[in-house]
Amino acid sequence: MPPNVLLLGIQGSGKGTQAKRIASEYDSPHVATGDILRKAIDDGTPLGRQVEDILARGELVPDATMIDLIRERLTESEGFVLDGFPRTMAQAEALDDMLAEIGRPLDVVFVLQVPDDVARERLAKRAVEEGRADDTPDAIDTRIATYHRETEPIVEHYRARGSLVPIPGTGTVEEVFRQIQDALEQVAVRQ
């Protein structure tokens, strides 16, 4: 059975890259909330119009909106790789409650660890390579500050639950993925 995985880490830590690898390798859908929101904006949907200015400022989308979006995606298949949510303790608690309600508990929570300066460099490079309008220097600084203030407590929340696996995110994509695979093999052994 595909694992239920949550990826945490500062923006630019490689969550999206690793989530895609995990999803492909373990046949689990990659639920990337940022991608879903950006597609909604590009498509001009009501959700896209609702969140466009919020994302451009580097701020967080309201919790209820995100939980509804994720619930819809997670009930579509077995296993998942969740990337980009939760970003606040309230969101983590709402996610935990929702996962318990639908019977889909997390098997493992990875936190990809990179220093702020590495994250800034990666995000600036991504802005150029992908033409991401939401990766302005001010928005990047806002996201990094928000991560430290709002998201880091989530890391401790999952550490206390015993499901957190820290992964150094400064190695090559392959090196980071090997560490993730090793951890997922341990999770499979415990199940």
Question: Known catalytic residues?
Answer: 15, 87, 126, 132, 143
Distance CA 43, CA 51 (A): 12
Element (H, E) at 177: helix 173-190
Sheet holding 4-9, edge to edge: 30-32, 80-83, 4-9, 108-113, 164-168
Q: Is 119 exposed, middle or buried (0-12, 13-18, 19+ CB in 10 A)?
A: buried
Return the SS3 of 73: helix
Q: What residues contact 55, with CB distance under 8 A and at least 6 apart? A: 37, 38, 41, 61, 134
Distance CA 188, CA 86 (A): 24
Q: Provide the CB-side half-sphere exposure for 124 (13 A, CA).
A: 9
